[in-house]
Amino acid sequence: MPPFVATAVAHPNIALIKYWGNRDHELRIPENGSISFNLDGLYTKTSVRFDPSIEKDTLCINDQIMDGPDLRRVSQFLRYINGISGKHYFADVKSENNFPISAGIASSAAAFAALSLAATKAAGLDMSEIELSRIARRGSGSACRSIPEGFVEWKPGRDDEDSYAISIAPTNHWDLVDVIAVVKGKHKSIGSTAGHTFARTSPIQKARVADAPRRLALGRDAILQKDFSALAEIVEIDSNLMHAVMMTSNPTLLYWEPATISIMKAVAIWRQSGIPACYTLDAGPNVHVIVLSSYITEIKNRILELPGIENILVAPVGGAAKFID
Ligand code: PMV
């Protein structure tokens, strides 16, 4: 029997309204909904080859053979795909990122979105966008948002069936850009999979989750109406709220470095002086500065004048995950 092969690419995404904490950790059903946009120019490309003649999975990321927890996580995901297709084969998985994993950009979203497309296609399955989003969610929650195009909302749902992401506005809807300030220093910290399990230990999490529908409505409306100042206000509050939960959970998660705070403060001052910019941070010290595309050069130059900046990446709004030949 021949091997079954497929290749797909997907972008990472940046959440404007964040999720943090799961209602169900195994199925990765989040406690609250979230809104993001895909990051164009950054991508993961993944090929999956189910082969009836091999006796274990292999995983190669950026030409490096992976073992241990990374391989186990991918294998678990492939067994789930085997269960849907009814074809119980092992696979060779080959993946490459065009952005440095060490840059601290969440790579698991793009990785599991691309893997979902490639693995289902290689297994002979023909999936709808919603089905693919649900499948990607099982690999990494935020991966479900890297399946549809442009601006995306993850409806939290309550179970496997109704927890998935949909596009709320197409890629060309609004020319926002994520200017990512990569902060200097070794970022050895707790990843999001573990972090989600600590969220409930923070006394703030309940209030954050209860208020999420309000923040989602404000974020969604600001995007649909292209109202930057309304978006900026809710994006920064939402990011600060998530980090307040992280800082007050047990164990404490404090992702910020001194340079992180310098950028956050500077962005607030720049906005007061009329520049449409706001910040949001994931589970790490890098600052995502969201701006209108006409301000990219201005913002880049200003960020580079601040202390502790290692690198800057620029990502406009990106399209959906897709198959390639
Ligand atoms: O889905 P995960 O495990 O990559 O978690 C993502 C968590 C944040 O990036 C901090 C927030 C979000 O909504 O993307």
Residue 1: is its pLDDT beyond 70?
no
- Tell me the mean pLDDT in the region 136-153: 98
The CA 308 to ligand 1 mean position distance, Å, reads 24
Q: Are residues 203 and 160 in the same domain?
A: no
Q: For residue 190, give the CATH number of its domain.
A: 3.30.70.890
Atom of ligand 1 nearest to the CA of 193: 3
Q: Are residues 204 and 135 in the same domain?
A: no
Q: Are residues 102 and 71 in the same domain?
A: yes
Last residue of a domain, one of 145, 172, 199: 172
DSSP bridge pairs for 154: 34, 165
The CA 187 to ligand 1 mean position distance, Å, reads 16
Angstrom distance (rounded) from CA 13 to CA 315:
10
The number of domains in the chain is 2
Atom of ligand 1 nearest to the CA of 143: 1
The verdict on residue 158 lying in a domain is yes
The verdict on residue 146 lying in a domain is yes
Q: For residue 50, give the CATH number of its domain.
A: 3.30.230.10
Average pLDDT of the residues of the chain = 95
So what's the pLDDT on residue 186?
A: 67
Tokens representing 162 are 């109704």
Q: Are residues 49 and 155 in the same domain?
A: yes
Instruction: Return the best residue to mutate from 282, 286, 288, 290 for the ligand 1 pocket (most ligand atoms within 8 A of CB).
Output: 282
Q: For residue 22, which phi and psi values (nearest 5 degrees)?
A: -115, 145
The vertex-95 CA angle with 27 and 5, nearest 5°, equals 85
Q: Is residue 216 classed as helix, strand or coil in its secondary structure?
A: helix
Residue 2: is its pLDDT beyond 80?
no
The CA 12 to ligand 1 mean position distance, Å, reads 11
The verdict on residue 325 lying in a domain is no
* Burial (CB count within 10 angstroms: exposed 0-12, middle 13-18, buried 19+), residue 173: middle
So what's the pLDDT on residue 189?
A: 78
Instruction: Return the best residue to mutate from 23, 192, 240, 255 for the ligand 1 pocket (most ligand atoms within 8 A of CB).
Output: 192
The verdict on residue 323 lying in a domain is no
The verdict on residue 324 lying in a domain is no
Q: Return the residue whose CA atom lies nearest to atom 10 of ligand 1.
A: 282
So what's the pLDDT on residue 99?
A: 84
For residue range 241-281, what is the model confidence (pLDDT) as tens digits? 999 999 999 999 999 999 999 999 999 999 999 999 999 99
So what's the pLDDT on residue 100?
A: 72
Q: Are residues 259 and 276 in the same domain?
A: yes
So what's the pLDDT on residue 103?
A: 59
Residue 250: which domain range? 176-316
Q: Return the residue whose CA atom lies nearest to atom 14 of ligand 1.
A: 15
Atom of ligand 1 nearest to the CA of 282: 10
- The β-bridge relationship of strands 64-66 and 151-155 is unpaired
Q: Are residues 281 and 164 in the same domain?
A: no
Pocket of ligand 1 (CB under 6 A): 15, 18-20, 34, 106, 108-109, 140-142, 192-193, 282-283
Q: Are residues 65 and 201 in the same domain?
A: no
107-122 helix and 129-139 helix, angle to the nearest 10 degrees: 120
So what's the pLDDT on residue 145?
A: 98
Q: Are residues 117 and 161 in the same domain?
A: yes
Q: Are residues 35 and 146 in the same domain?
A: yes
For residue range 44-82, what is the model confidence (pLDDT) as tens digits? 999 999 999 999 999 999 999 999 999 999 999 999 999
Q: Are residues 261 and 207 in the same domain?
A: yes
Residue 87: is its pLDDT beyond 80?
yes
Residue 3: is its pLDDT beyond 70?
no
The verdict on residue 273 lying in a domain is yes
Q: Are residues 199 and 233 in the same domain?
A: yes
For residue range 168-178, what is the model confidence (pLDDT) as tens digits? 999 999 999 99
Q: Are residues 94 and 194 in the same domain?
A: no
pLDDT band at 133 (very low <50, low <70, confident <90, very high): very high
Q: Return the residue whose CA atom lies nearest to atom 8 of ligand 1.
A: 282
Q: Return the residue whose CA atom lies nearest to atom 9 of ligand 1.
A: 282
- Tell me the mean pLDDT in the region 300-324: 96
Q: Look at the pTM and tell me if it is higher than 0.95.
A: yes
Last residue of a domain, one of 172, 201, 227: 172
Angstrom distance (rounded) from CA 148 to CA 164:
10
Last residue of a domain, one of 172, 195, 229: 172
> What percent of the chain shows pLDDT beyond 90?
93
For residue range 181-233, what is the model confidence (pLDDT) as tens digits? 999 876 667 889 899 999 999 999 999 999 999 999 999 999 999 999 999 99
The CA 127 to ligand 1 mean position distance, Å, reads 24
- Tell me the mean pLDDT in the region 132-139: 98
Atom of ligand 1 nearest to the CA of 28: 1
Instruction: Return the best residue to mutate from 11, 19, 154 for the ligand 1 pocket (most ligand atoms within 8 A of CB).
Output: 19
Atom of ligand 1 nearest to the CA of 141: 1
Alpha helices in 48-144 (DSSP H): 68-85, 107-122, 129-139
The verdict on residue 144 lying in a domain is yes
Atom of ligand 1 nearest to the CA of 242: 10
Instruction: Return the best residue to mutate from 23, 38, 137, 142 for the ligand 1 pocket (most ligand atoms within 8 A of CB).
Output: 142
- The DSSP-derived string for 238-303 is HHHHHHHHHHTSSS------HHHHHHHHHHHHHHHTT--EEEE--SSS-EEEEEEGGGHHHHHHHH
The verdict on residue 277 lying in a domain is yes
